[in-house]
């Protein structure tokens, strides 16, 4: 197994800058660990935008179908009852519930997809470089691969951005 | 001033060219305006149908002015920074008010052709209309037109003046004052807009009433204004102006448009559903006219143009940042707003079949020509970017 | 963007803090022993809750006859409280979702507690229709499920059935949004926990969060999506509540502007309640650096805007009632202002129309004591608004011989006090057990550059 290099930083700006520098030196960035969602780090790490948007849309669409056809089937097919002379298929009156079902499906569907995908589940202990990740430290985890010959070693790049290497 | 931390971006914006209305474009726009004018003149002498067309044009153009000022004042009041770089465009839209005012005066000349309650004969046998006489009578109706425009003008002009003065002095005080004027504009301007909708459009069917009507018109107007801004911004960038405009600005505007098309369908649905559900004869008449026959088809097209199509396009993150889908969505919204006003104004006046003839085409060409002409002309008079606004730097470096 | 923010913008968080300070100060609220003020608060809240439980038990055992309702006024106190609490429940999701979408960064210090407040308020709201059923053990009949009664489905054309879906969805999605936003903070608490129970408890709740940026990236997407979904949801909830009234043909209830008007009113009252709670929390928990005067000022500005919409709605309603030429419509509105319930109407007008006007002055917006008092007036005014809409439209109906009056009994008042007890009990427990300020989001707006203080 290849050795992982871990660098520690004190603020987000140093982290983002050194991610850019390290990537320029063709060192592979495995992951970063941060106490909050750092703005602009996704671009620096070149992360793809999420597919969760499409999942959310799909769940919402299923919700729309369930909401509209469910109410239609219940009110017009399975047991039609004349209530206040409204038509059996009272589409305008079905809209509020259909809307709520869309939101419910889309919201819960997205969140549980995220949990499943990212394997976040009840009680799993966190694996992290240090307990200070969730407090005030930023970590950068890199993989020592084929670094470009001309550039400085990783530790020097990190040092140049006010970071320090941490023992693995 | 240069070197002060507030104005570190001044070099960037100094290189920004001021807009010049080129002669070829000017000629095209004046041609369109003249076509509109000629149509109106011919129409006045030949067809009753010209009056609803003029009323529509007056509302459409006033709406563009209103939406521009609304955007500017929301931006001030919420202390937002992102839109400063593009603020001159909604500011220029303010000039559409003057055209709206002229058209509205023209409408007053033809009030007898539009408003049933202006006929004494209609009033005599109708106790309900008699009850409304203190509000719906010609002298006070005429009086209210300059009052509305006066309020919009008097409250809006200082916002523009402060913005322009700040270009020269860079004084922060101008921003503070603009915020105060904007609050007044939103409060008083908003209420007058709602009342003016009751006046100019709702009273076309004087027996019918709906408390949400003003807000409904308002939501459509803001959609149209946002779409107009998006198209104008993209156009300016394409012909080489406004280099500070980034896709991030368009993205923010597109988000607004997405939110407000949804707001439009929300208001549309609220009014429609409540009237449909309660099924009270006084109210349902409005929708019976608009849901039967060919007007019914137009109602569905209206929903698609004002909500379904732009909503679906703008739902995707990518299309909010790309010129082509943005242009398509905005163009559909602008046409949809015309149709929306058409459906509010025409059905009680022209019988059961909708007509889209030469008169309508001529007036539409006129609307496009004159609106663009006044807005672009006003745009050419000032710096295209508010160069000394303290938030300009934040706006130029907008990153979403 | 932080690099280009100009010095005329004040920092979101005062006190020149570093990241560790934020963690310590927010977590300390949970770590230190409760103060006497907290004990006082919780004992008051629990006493109120006890009164509520007694009232509701008596009512359920005896019947709805214990209330002051009569044939003409069939809806009154209970529904007023329901609408009032749903309204309070609007600010939380509004602050979290709409302000998030509009990139209003000041939301970060108040969103967590506002969301908690939303959930508790919706719980309070949900109880009222259930106890109004008289036989609350059959409440599950409201849900559409295959059954042996036909299968007799619920009536989807009924606005009351819409309520079940709207309030239910709102509770579920708000709770999800709240919990989801809290996961990183729960991990922070877990990582600094000293005792085993706490470690286990927060370890379980934080779902193994480890601060990985790849997860953060997806997490942000989901958060934004939830915000995007919650925004129309929050609007729809009070819209559906307004449909309870507006779909009828009762003058004073049936008016097309009710949906946006109710939503604006809900935001108005919700923000007033957030202000009330946040000013108390700021003072007693010493959070002046987090909930700054700017936060308070911004919230008062939202109150001006929504108060303005509410004012415009009152005016429009009155104008259109006259304009309609409908005698019944005109009577209802005159009766509101001049009839036997005029006192309630003028309390409503005084609190909702006049109170926000004070906020036009910057000196008042930044005076915490006055803002606190005014926010309570708005709360009172909005309670009376619902009372006026519901009771005055009913008590003098089309048939003068059926006209009657309404006054609440001790059972109804006890239930209302009990709902406040429940609300404050839950809220006080929340600030002791969960991080009440969103640390992850506050840290992101600190723009912390400095070196260690050590």
Q: Which of A49, A53, A92 is opposite residue B277, by nearest beta carbon?
A: A92
Q: Is C2 among the domain residues?
A: no
Smallest Cα–Cα separation from C383: which of C361, C416, C408, C429? C416
Which residues of chain B neighbour A53 with C-beta distances below 8 Å? 317
Q: Which of C1, C9, C317 is opposite residue B211, by nearest beta carbon?
A: C317
Indicate yes or no: CB of B267 within 8 angstroms of CB of C315: no
Distance CA C322, CA C315 (A): 11
Which residues of chain B neighbour A57 with C-beta distances below 8 Å? 315
**Domain stop point among A117, A141, A158:** A117
Render A86-134 in DSSP notation, one character per residue: --SS-HHHHHHHHHHHHHHHHHHHHHHHHHHHTT--TTPPPP-S-GGGG
Q: How far is B280 from chain A (nearest CA, A)?
A: 13
Share of chain B above pLDDT 90, in %: 58
Distance CA C185, CA B310 (A): 38
pLDDT of res. A2: 62
Indicate yes or no: CB of B215 within 8 angstroms of CB of C4: no
pLDDT of res. B282: 84
Q: Which of C218, C440, C452 is opposite residue A52, by nearest beta carbon?
A: C218
- A92 and A71 part of one domain: yes
Q: Is C1 among the domain residues?
A: no
pLDDT of res. B93: 93
Q: Which of residues 328-357 of B touch C (CB under 8 A)?
A: none
pLDDT of res. B3: 43
ipTM confidence score = 0.91
- A144 and A96 part of one domain: no
Strand-by-strand arrangement of the A4-9 sheet: A28-33, A138-143, A4-9, A164-166
pLDDT digits (tens, 9 = 90+) for B251-276: 999 999 999 999 999 999 999 999 99
Distance CA C157, CA B46 (A): 50
- A111 and A60 part of one domain: yes
Indicate yes or no: CB of A92 within 8 angstroms of CB of B276: yes
Smallest Cα–Cα separation from B377: which of B57, B99, B75? B99
Smallest Cα–Cα separation from B83: which of B95, B70, B65, B64? B70
- A146 and A98 part of one domain: no
Query: Confidence class of residue C2 from pLDDT cuts 50, 70 and 90?
Result: very low
Query: Confidence class of residue C14 from pLDDT cuts 50, 70 and 90?
Result: confident
Indicate yes or no: CB of A92 within 8 angstroms of CB of B317: no
Residue B313 or residue B400, greater confidence: B313
pLDDT of res. A149: 65
Q: Is C26 among the domain residues?
A: yes
Distance CA B196, CA B55 (A): 12
Residue B61 vs residues B87, B131, B194, B267, B344: alpha-carbon distances, Å: 19, 32, 16, 22, 16
Average pLDDT over residues C254-269: 92
Indicate yes or no: CB of C312 within 8 angstroms of CB of B271: no
By residue range, what is the domain housing residue A151? 4-49+127-166
Q: Which of B262, B270, B271, B273 to mutate to test the interface with A (most CBs of A within 10 A)?
A: B273
On average, the pLDDT of chain C sits at 88
- A45 and A57 part of one domain: no
Distance CA A29, CA B254 (A): 34
By residue range, what is the domain housing residue C58? 15-143+157-446
- A113 and A138 part of one domain: no
H or E, element range at A28: strand A28-33
Q: Is C234 among the domain residues?
A: yes
Q: How far is C148 from chain B (nearest CA, A)?
A: 30
Smallest Cα–Cα separation from A153: which of A35, A42, A26? A26
Distance CA A108, CA C305 (A): 33
pLDDT digits (tens, 9 = 90+) for A85-133: 888 888 899 999 999 999 999 999 999 998 887 766 655 555 677 788 8
Q: Count of domains in chain C?
A: 1
- A57 and A99 part of one domain: yes
pLDDT digits (tens, 9 = 90+) for C180-190: 999 999 989 88
Distance CA B85, CA B252 (A): 13
Indicate yes or no: CB of A33 within 8 angstroms of CB of C229: no
Q: Which of A71, A123, A133 is opposite residue C210, by nearest beta carbon?
A: A133
Q: Count of domains in chain A?
A: 2
Distance CA B217, CA B280 (A): 22
Distance CA B203, CA B348 (A): 11
Name the neighbours of B, counting chains with at least 3 Cβ pairs within 8 A.
A, C
Indicate yes or no: CB of B269 within 8 angstroms of CB of A92: yes
Q: Which of residues 58-77 of A touch C (CB under 8 A)?
A: 60, 70-71, 74-75
pLDDT digits (tens, 9 = 90+) for C214-255: 888 889 889 989 988 998 999 999 999 999 999 998 998 999
- Whether the CB-CB separation of A154 and A147 falls below 8 Å is answered with yes
Q: Is C6 among the domain residues?
A: no
Residue C4 has pLDDT above 60, yes or no: no
**Proportion of chain C in helix, strand, coil states, percent, rounded to 5:** 75, 0, 25
Q: Is A122 among the domain residues?
A: no
Residue C103 has pLDDT above 80, yes or no: no
Q: Is A57 among the domain residues?
A: yes
Indicate yes or no: CB of B273 within 8 angstroms of CB of A93: yes
SS3 assignment, position A30? strand
What is the CA angle C376-C380-C386, rounded to 5? 145
- A64 and A43 part of one domain: no
Query: Confidence class of residue B71 from pLDDT cuts 50, 70 and 90?
Result: very high
Residue C13 vs residues B80, C26, C87, C106, C109: alpha-carbon distances, Å: 18, 13, 29, 9, 8
- A25 and A43 part of one domain: yes
Name the neighbours of A, counting chains with at least 3 Cβ pairs within 8 A.
B, C
Which residues of chain A neighbour C28 with C-beta distances below 8 Å? none
Q: Is C4 among the domain residues?
A: no
Q: Which of residues 92-111 of A touch C (CB under 8 A)?
A: 93-94, 96-97, 99-101, 103-104, 106-108, 110-111
């Amino acid at each position: 197994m290849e050795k992982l290099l871990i660098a520690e930083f004190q603020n987000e700006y140093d982290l983002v800058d050194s991610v850019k520098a390290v990537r320029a030196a063709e060192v592979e960035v495995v992951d970063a660990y941060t106490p909050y969602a750092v703005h602009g780090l996704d671009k620096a790490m070149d992360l793809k935008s999420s597919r969760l948007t499409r999942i959310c849309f799909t769940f919402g669409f299923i919700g729309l179908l369930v909401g509209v056809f469910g109410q239609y089937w219940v009110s017009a097919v399975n047991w039609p009852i004349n209530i206040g002379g409204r038509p059996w298929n009272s589409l305008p009156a079905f809209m509020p519930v259909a809307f709520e079902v869309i939101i419910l499906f889309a919201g819960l569907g997205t969140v549980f997809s995220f949990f499943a995908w990212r394997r976040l589940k009840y009680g799993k202990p966190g694996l992290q470089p240090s307990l200070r990740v969730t407090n005030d430290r930023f970590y950068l985890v890199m993989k020592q691969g084929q670094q470009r010959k001309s550039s400085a070693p990783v530790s020097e790049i990190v040092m140049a951005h006010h970071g320090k290497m941490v023992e693995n | 001033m240069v070197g002060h931390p507030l104005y570190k971006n001044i070099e960037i914006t100094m290189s920004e060219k001021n807009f010049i209305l080129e002669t070829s474009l000017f000629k095209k726009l004046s041609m369109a305006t003249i076509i509109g004018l000629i149509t109106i003149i011919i129409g006045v002498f030949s067809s009753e149908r010209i009056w609803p067309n003029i009323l529509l044009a007056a509302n459409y153009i006033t709406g563009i002015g209103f939406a521009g000022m609304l955007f500017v004042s929301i931006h001030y009041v919420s202390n937002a920074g992102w839109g400063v770089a593009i603020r001159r465009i909604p500011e220029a839209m303010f000039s559409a008010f003057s055209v709206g005012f002229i058209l509205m005066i023209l409408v007053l000349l033809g009030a007898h052709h539009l408003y049933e309650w202006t006929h004494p004969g209609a009033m005599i046998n109708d106790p309900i209309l008699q009850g409304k006489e203190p509000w719906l009578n010609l002298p006070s109706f005429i009086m209210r037109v300059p009052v509305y425009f006066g309020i919009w003008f008097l409250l809006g002009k200082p916002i523009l003046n402060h913005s322009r003065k700040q270009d020269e002095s860079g004084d922060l005080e101008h921003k503070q004052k603009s915020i105060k004027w904007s609050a007044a504009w939103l409060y008083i301007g908003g209420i007058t807009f709602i009342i003016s909708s009751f006046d100019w459009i709702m009273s076309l069917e004087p027996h019918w009433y709906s408390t949400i009507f003003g807000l409904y018109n308002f939501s459509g107007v803001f959609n149209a204004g946002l779409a107009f801004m998006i198209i104008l911004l993209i156009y300016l960038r394409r012909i080489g102006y406004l280099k500070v405009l980034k896709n991030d600005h368009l993205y923010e505007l597109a988000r607004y448009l997405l939110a407000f098309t949804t707001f439009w369908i929300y208001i549309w649905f609220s009014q429609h559903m409540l009237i449909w559900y309660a099924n009270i004869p006084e109210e349902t008449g409005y929708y019976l006219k608009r849901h039967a026959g060919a007007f019914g088809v137009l109602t569905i097209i209206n929903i698609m143009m004002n909500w379904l199509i732009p909503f679906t396009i703008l739902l995707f993150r990518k299309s909010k940042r790309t010129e082509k889908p943005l242009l398509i969505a905005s163009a559909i919204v602008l046409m949809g707003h015309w149709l929306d006003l058409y459906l509010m104004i025409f059905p009680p006046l022209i019988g059961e079949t909708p007509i889209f003839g030469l008169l309508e085409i001529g007036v539409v060409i006129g609307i496009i020509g004159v609106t663009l002409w006044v807005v672009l002309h006003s745009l050419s008079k000032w710096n295209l970017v508010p160069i000394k606004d303290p938030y300009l730097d934040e706006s130029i470096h907008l990153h979403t | 963007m932080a690099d280009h923010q100009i010095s005329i913008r004040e920092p979101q968080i005062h006190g020149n803090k570093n990241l560790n300070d934020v963690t310590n100060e927010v977590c300390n609220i949970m770590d230190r022993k409760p103060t006497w003020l907290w004990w006082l608060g919780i004992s008051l809240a629990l006493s109120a809750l006890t009164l509520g439980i007694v009232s509701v038990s008596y009512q359920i055992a005896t019947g709805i006859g214990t209330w002051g309702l009569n044939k003409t006024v069939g809806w009154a106190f209970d529904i007023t409280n329901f609408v009032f609490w749903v309204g309070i429940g609007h600010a939380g999701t509004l602050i979290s979702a709409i302000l998030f979408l509009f990139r209003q960064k000041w939301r970060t210090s108040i969103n967590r507690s506002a969301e908690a407040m939303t959930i508790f308020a919706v719980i309070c709201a949900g109880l009222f229709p259930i106890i109004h059923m008289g036989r609350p053990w059959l409440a599950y009949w409201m849900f559409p499920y295959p059954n042996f009664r036909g299968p007799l489905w619920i009536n989807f054309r009924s606005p009351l059935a819409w309520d079940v879906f709207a309030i239910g969805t709102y509770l579920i999605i708000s709770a999800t949004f709240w919990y989801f936003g809290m996961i990183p903070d729960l991990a922070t608490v877990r990582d600094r926990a000293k005792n085993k129970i706490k470690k286990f408890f927060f370890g379980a709740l934080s779902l193994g969060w480890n601060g990985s940026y790849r997860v953060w990236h997806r997490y942000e997407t989901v958060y934004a999506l939830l915000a995007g979904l919650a925004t129309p949801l929050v609007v729809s909830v009070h819209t559906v509540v307004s449909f309870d009234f507006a779909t009828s043909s009762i003058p004073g209830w049936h008016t097309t502007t009710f949906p946006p008007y109710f939503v604006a009113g809900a935001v108005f009252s919700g923000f007033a309640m957030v202000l009330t709670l946040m000013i108390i929390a700021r003072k007693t928990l010493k959070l002046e650096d987090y909930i700054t005067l700017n936060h308070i000022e911004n919230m008062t500005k939202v109150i001006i805007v929504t108060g303005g919409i509410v004012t415009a709605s009152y005016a429009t309603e009155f104008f259109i009632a006259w304009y309609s030429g409908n005698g019944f419509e005109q009577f209802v509105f005159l009766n509101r202002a001049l009839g036997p319930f005029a006192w309630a109407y003028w309390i409503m007008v005084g609190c909702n129309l006049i109170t926000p006007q004070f906020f036009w002055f910057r000196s008042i917006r930044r005076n915490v004591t006055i803002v606190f008092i005014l926010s309570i007036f708005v709360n009172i005014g909005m309670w009376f608004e619902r009372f006026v809409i519901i009771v005055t439209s009913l008590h003098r109906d089309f048939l003068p011989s059926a006209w009657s009056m309404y006054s609440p009994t001790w059972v109804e008042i006890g239930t209302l006090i009990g709902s406040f007890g429940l609300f404050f009990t839950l809220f006080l427990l929340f600030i002791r057990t969960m991080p009440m300020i969103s640390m992850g989001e506050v840290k992101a707006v600190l723009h912390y550059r400095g070196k260690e203080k050590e």
